[in-house]
């Protein structure tokens, strides 16, 4: 992916990796522990996290990213 956008894509992937590393435990814990009673704040957090996971899946499966990852070791290393 040798273009003027390469640094931006790498930065974005690096940021996504940092976000996942920072919040993965919280995302997993909120899904595992059901708690007792009705917790509206928890339900809202679950909706936000579910949306976040959908966006990460969309990014991971994006055709251009997959194509460019195969052709560029630098992006593949940053995403891994």
pLDDT tens-digit profile of 7-19? 888 888 888 889 8
Averaged pLDDT of the chain: 77
76 vs 63, which has greater pLDDT? 63
DSSP 45-67: HHHHHHHHHHHHHHHHT-HHHHH
Q: Rounded to 5 degrees, what are φ and ψ at 38?
A: -95, 125
Residue 75 has pLDDT above 50, yes or no: no
* Residue-wise pLDDT tens digits, 18-70: 988 898 888 888 777 776 777 888 889 889 888 988 888 888 787 777 666 66
């Amino acid at each position: 992916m040798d273009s003027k956008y390469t640094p931006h894509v790498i930065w974005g992937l690096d940021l996504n990796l940092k976000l996942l590393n920072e919040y993965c435990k919280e995302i997993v814990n909120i899904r595992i522990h059901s708690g007792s009673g009705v917790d509206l704040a928890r339900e809202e957090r679950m909706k936000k996290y579910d949306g976040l996971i959908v966006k990460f899946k969309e990014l991971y499966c994006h055709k251009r990213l997959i194509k460019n990852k195969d052709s560029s070791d630098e992006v593949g290393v940053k995403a891994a």
